[in-house]
Homo-oligomer: A and B are copies of this chain.
């Protein structure tokens, strides 16, 4: 029932302008009120709501694009690295990704931590990407086999939602700890 027909040219323009504006606003951080986004896109509020159910849906859509890109990484990483190393890198990649802007991290948190259907796509895609890495690691005997992508995703979602100053360094360290918990052969005594 979606896609009655290809969208009129001006509608498509506006839709894209909105997405662009939203992305900029989210990167620029702090607020990103619907009105600001709409004005920045050069359209009226009503138009924004013509294209997106809610503010959250717009944000989700912006984020979905990034997520798709991010989810291409595992295949690439697995080609070049051992599965455990690939996993480690991907975890850091996610953190990095959430760090680009305040609003962006907020968005990631929404994607990861809620279960609103609006974010289902993005969430599933990311869980799948993680599963890919986890399965490869487990098959190689490097990563425990009793964890699925959904769980890891949630753990990361929590971490990335934090918005305190210096959170990124913390997030990186937490991701590292998480990684150690996921693989076999975690740090041995006296590594300090």
A157, A176, A177 interface centre (most CB from chain B within 10 Å): A177
Selected from B146, B158, B164, the residue in CB contact (under 8 A) with A115 is B164
> Chain A 21-65, CB within 8 Å of chain B: the 1/0 string?
000000000000000000000000000000000000000000000
Selected from B144, B155, B162, B167, the residue in CB contact (under 8 A) with A192 is B144
Q: Tell whether A2 is near chain B: CB-to-CB under 8 Å.
A: no
What B residues does A114 contact at CB under 8 A? 163-164
Q: Tell whether A170 is near chain B: CB-to-CB under 8 Å.
A: yes
Give the distance in Å from the alpha carbon of A186 to the alpha carbon of B163 in the complex: 30
Residues of A within 8 A of B (CB): 113-115, 141-142, 144-147, 150-151, 154-155, 157-165, 167, 170, 173-174, 176-192
